[in-house]
Structure 1
Amino acid sequence: MKEMQYPINISAPNLVNVCVDESFDGEISGKLYNCYQKEPVLFSNLVQLLRTMEKFFDEIQFPQSSTRSRSFYVSDTQESRKKPKVADQVDVVNHRGEKGTFIITVQFRQNSTWQGELFWIEKVEKQNFSSTLDLIKILDGDLMLAEIKAKTASGYVVGK
């Protein structure tokens, strides 16, 4: 089997593969893969996906957040513990979603938001984002475009 070349750093410790299985009316669900877990993390909406990713970045402490969330309870921090990798990065990026597959690398967490890059596997297209809102717009726009193309290919008339 020929190994695919990606225009993104697949050896990044914080790389996540977002496999979107369902996309309806701006809401997505699917699976998230990373190299620190053997099993995928399921998400049923966009907010759950973002919270899961934020928790993952906090757990591996990369990229480090420039701000800390306040809370009324004391949390156990994993400041001195490093999580071991349990899956190969190549295996992580080889999973596919039914509606779309996005390899996401968040490079910075500054100003209470994310900056990084997204690679859409099916379109072989790389895009940079400068905020979490940018990331949401890219995901939503790309999936809506794919949905419209699928509907027009099946004979469904868009806009009527």
Structure 2
Amino acid sequence: MDGLASGFIPYEIKTSLVKITSYADRELRGTLYNPYFARELRFSNALQFLALVEELLDAIGCPQKAMETPGFRSARCESAPEEDAHERPALATFKLNVLFRQNASWQGRLVWLEKKSETQFRSVLELLMILDNVLS
């Protein structure tokens, strides 16, 4: 029986790998990898990154939303089109673990793999500010 179908969600599914390949003009570009998707998904801006993570969290059902997000969105978020045939080197790589989704935001842990340092974030805005601080 599939772990997700049985209600058990393996730790590996709860943790995503985020590779930032470009931050020119503070425009977040990179890839998101999670075993649930079984492939790297590209994003070309911060909103696309957040939408991909939100879609993943909804798909695995963990952590559960404390409230529904208001809005008009009904279309599925798509990965950014592939720009280069060759792989770009990562500026920074992070392990992202969203522990809670409360107050229409996320709370969790971010591990910067190159520096072997870990921090927690209490909101999506704080997560983006941490990424900006590392990449600027």
CA gap of 1:58–1:124, structure 2 versus 1, over 3 A, is same
Mapping 1:49-88, distance limit 5 Å: 49-70=49-70
Deviations for 1:23-57, whole angstroms, at most 9, x for unmatched residues? 11211101100011221111001110001101110
Q: Which residue of 2 aligns with 1:33?
A: 33
Q: Which residue of 2 aligns with 1:138?
A: 130
Structure 2 alignment gaps of length 5 or more: 1-9, 76-87
Q: Which residue of 2 aligns with 1:6?
A: none
Mapping 1:1-160, distance limit 5 Å: 11-70=11-70, 98-144=90-136
Partner of 2:52: helix, strand, or coil? helix
Structure 1 alignment gaps of length 5 or more: 1-9, 76-95, 145-160
After superposition, the CA RMSD in angstroms is 2.2
Q: 2:69·2:104 contact (CA, 8 Å) conserved in 1? A: no
CA drift of 1:70 comes to: 3.9
Q: Which residue of 1 aligns with 2:3?
A: none
Partner of 1:55: helix, strand, or coil? helix
Separation in structure 1 between the aligned mates of residue 58 and residue 112 of structure 2, nearest angstrom: 24
In the superposition, the TM-score normalised over structure 1's length comes to: 0.66
CA drift of 1:69 comes to: 2.6
Structure having the higher Rg? 1
CA gap of 1:73–1:116, structure 2 versus 1, over 3 A, is closer
- Percent identity of paired positions between Structure 1 and Structure 2: 37
In the superposition, the TM-score normalised over structure 2's length comes to: 0.77
Q: How many residues align?
A: 115
CA gap of 1:133–1:70, structure 2 versus 1, over 3 A, is closer
CA drift of 1:132 comes to: 0.5
Letter in 2 for 1:21: T
